[in-house]
Amino acid sequence: MKLPVHTSPYGSLPNNVTRVMGEVLLALVPGIIALVYYFGWGVLINIGIAVTTALAAEAGVLRLRKRPVRPALTDLSATVTAVLLAIALPPLTPWWMTVLGVLFAIVMVKHLYGGLGYNPFNPAMAAYVLLLVSFPVAMTQWLPPVLLNEHPLSFVQTLSAIFGGGLPDHLTWDTITSATPLDAMREQLKMNKTISEIAQNPMWGDFGARGWEWVGNWFLLGGLFLLWRKVITWHIPFAMIAGLLLASGLFWLFDPESMPFPGFHLFSGGMILGAFFIATDPVTAATTSKGRLVYGFLIGLTVFIIRTWGGYPDAVAFAVLLMNMAAPTIDYYTQPRVFGARDKDNA
């Protein structure tokens, strides 16, 4: 009797794009709930706008390319791109900016390069950079976290602000929005204030800014879930955080009055979200284990460099895009030794 011979692996979990993307979405939930709690309904409305646009754009482009539409819509990858972009945007972003960003991400960054799996740049971050460079004012108008917000907007008020740009009569944009912590820190350092003077302001909490640090913690929880489910490996987040902490720590030890505490860097802006959810994008990141360490470390380092000396307050998007460009080269130089080959053969 002949038995069929199978090759390994003998036992495997169903592993496909839908499962991976679904778990990424699930892992984002705690962070999103925290964002909604601290910054109001705008976050959810943005996610709604972004996901709707992304699915419509994906379907439209696939029809144009004469590809099957249904599998690409149900694999959730467009949804993940849209959600990642939406939570990176300020809560009161006008609706058309969100739509424009998502269209750019799906049509230009993803499909013009060949669709899922072929894009060299992270679509969500490319779209974020497009919006940040093009609309610098609107993109830096964040709401203060709820603990400090004197005029929290209701759901309907948020909706009208996003779709019509209208605010309740007694409010103006200047009274309800404020700079992000990274922006505030940057401006005050420019005015030659010392860190201990800046820290007097009620917006600062234990590590980073109040509210923001907790959002970071909840995203961290989601990231650990992804690690546990083996959707991502530890290399990129670890190396990215290490790169940032090492660089900021060195400078902080050297000059603690003009360089912010490393923990502040870690829990401000998009760092945690970037380390676990954005830099780990399997399509655009480096793929070898050693390469991932290099890739993550360089992102962390670049984030610190741009935040400290660059022209923009936050830098995760820029750093990720720059390293996307470097990823193929990093992979080339970090190819692992083929099992059984000697080092000489590989060189």
Query: Which of these segments, 81-89, 128-136, 269-277, 333-341, binds another protein (CB under 8 A)?
Result: 128-136
Q: Which of 26, 36, 73, 108 binds another protein (CB under 8 A)?
A: 108
Contacting range for another protein; rule: CB under 8 A; set: 130-138, 153-161, 185-193, 221-229: 130-138
Using the rule CB under 8 A, give the single segment among 31-39, 133-141, 152-160, 178-186 that binds another protein.
133-141
**Bridge partners of residue 178, in order along the sequence:** 142
Of 130, 209, 278, 317, which lies in the binding site for another protein, with binding defined by CB under 8 A?
130
Nearer to another protein, 22 or 60 (CB): 60
CB of 82 to another protein, least distance (A): 20
Which CB atom, from 130 or from 317, has the smaller least distance to another protein?
130
Nearest to 130 by CA among 87, 97, 177, 165: 97
DSSP secondary-structure letter at 135?
Answer: -
Q: How far apart are CA 52 and CA 58, in angstroms?
A: 10
Residue 298 identity? L
Closest to another protein by CB, 114 vs 136, is 136
User: Cβ of residue 298: shortest distance to another protein, in angstroms?
Assistant: 22
135 contacts another protein (rule: CB under 8 A):
yes
Which of 133, 224, 305, 325 touches another protein (CB under 8 A)?
133
Handedness of CA 312, 315, 317, 318 (dihedral sign): positive
Any contact of residue 134 with another protein (CB under 8 A)?
yes
88-107 positions binding another protein, by CB under 8 A: 100
Residues 237, 223: Cα–Cα separation, whole Å? 9
What are the two backbone dihedrals, phi and then psi, of residue 209, each rounded to the nearest 5 degrees? -90, 155
Alpha-carbon span 105 to 112, nearest angstrom = 10
CB of 278 to another protein, least distance (A): 20
Cα 311 to Cα 122: distance, rounded to the nearest angstrom? 21
- CB closer to another protein out of 63 and 151: 63
Choices 50-58, 131-139, 194-202, 270-278; region in contact with another protein by CB under 8 A:
131-139
* 346 is a contact residue toward another protein (CB under 8 A): no
With beta carbons less than 8 A apart as the criterion, state whether 244 and 266 touch: yes
Q: How far is the CB of 137 from another protein (least distance, A)?
A: 9
207 lies in the binding site for another protein (CB under 8 A)? no
Burial class (CB in 10 A: 0-12, 13-18, 19+), 290: middle
Instruction: Using alpha carbons, select from 91, 28, 80 the residue that is nearest to residue 219.
Output: 28
Of 268, 273, 313, 216, nearest to 85 by C-alpha is 273
**Residue 3 corresponds to which tokens in the numbers above?**
């038995």
Smallest distance, another protein to C-beta of residue 301, A: 24
Interface with another protein (CB under 8 A): 100, 108, 130, 133-136, 138
